[in-house]
């Protein structure tokens, strides 16, 4: 068995990372909700949204971590440090991309979830984990757990003692709880149940 190698993603690896994100989140409940999976063209909207997010993340120099095995990308995390300050131009660009390629109603639903996430934060200086992606054919091998562990270690090394994330996958809750997260809230919408988790939430 080839060893698993962890390293930050480079710009040259963005295409492979986008393919991974698209496969890993093909059935994600949150994306399915705000990108209207029931409508024709969901796969195209999903990829367009993930590409826009990836450009936004890269434009603001936010951290990533990739997991490689036998030169194949099998997992990745996208996250932010405490109090990220994205550039105004990048915020405008991602909004315009989502509006044009996914639709104004998709952007409105995404904004609704982002606002709800902000309202759930007990500490607004929390770092955030945006995506933890594992290739569908590699799930169940501990890759997600290793990525989460290393992401949290990276954040601790940068002084981020509080970390927040959200998920609409109940099956992921046990993983986050094992890594020191506590569930701090939830949001119930028609067609979506969103869970909010944080570390250091009681400080």
Give me the CATH number covering residue 141: 3.40.630.30
Global pTM reads: 0.93
E strand or H helix at 85: none
Query: How many Cβ atoms are within 10 Å of 89's Cβ, its own excluded?
Result: 9
Q: How many domains does the chain have?
A: 1
Domain interval for residue 136: 5-199
Q: Which residue reads 């169940």 in tokens?
A: 140
> Tokens in use for 115?
């606002």
Mean pLDDT rounded to a whole number for the chain: 93
Sign of the Cα torsion 118, 17, 22, 72 reads: negative
Average pLDDT over residues 44-68: 97
Cα(50)–Cα(64) distance, rounded to whole angstroms? 14
Who has greater pLDDT, 38 or 125?
A: 38
Q: Is residue 71 very low, low, confident or very high in pLDDT (cuts 50, 70, 90)? A: confident
Candidates 3, 25, 125, 158; CA nearest to 69 is 3
Q: Which pLDDT belongs to residue 201?
A: 53
- Structure confidence at residue 191 (pLDDT): 93
pLDDT attached to residue 163: 95
Residue among 140, 142, 163 at smallest CA distance from 151: 163
Is 137 in a helix, a strand, or coil?
helix
- pLDDT bucket at 156, cuts 50 / 70 / 90: very high
């Amino acid at each position: 068995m080839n060893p698993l190698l962890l390293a930050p993603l480079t710009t040259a690896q963005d295409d492979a990372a986008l393919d991974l994100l698209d496969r890993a989140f093909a059935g994600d409940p949150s994306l399915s909700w705000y990108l209207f999976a029931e409508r024709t063209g969901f796969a195209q909207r999903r990829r367009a949204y993930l590409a826009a997010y990836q450009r936004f993340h890269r434009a603001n120099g936010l951290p990533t971590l990739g997991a490689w095995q036998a030169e194949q990308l099998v997992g990745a995390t996208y996250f932010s440090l405490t109090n990220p300050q994205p550039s105004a131009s990048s915020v405008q660009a991602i909004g315009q991309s989502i509006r044009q390629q996914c639709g104004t109603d998709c952007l409105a639903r995404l904004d609704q979830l982002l606002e709800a996430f902000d309202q759930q934060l007990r500490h607004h200086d929390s770092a955030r984990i945006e995506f933890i992606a594992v290739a569908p054919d590699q799930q169940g091998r501990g890759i997600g757990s290793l990525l989460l562990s290393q992401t949290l270690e990276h954040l601790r090394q940068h002084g981020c003692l509080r970390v927040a994330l959200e998920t609409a996958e109940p099956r992921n809750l046990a993983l986050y709880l094992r890594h020191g997260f506590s569930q701090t809230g939830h949001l119930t919408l028609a067609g979506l149940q969103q869970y909010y988790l944080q570390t250091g939430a009681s400080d």
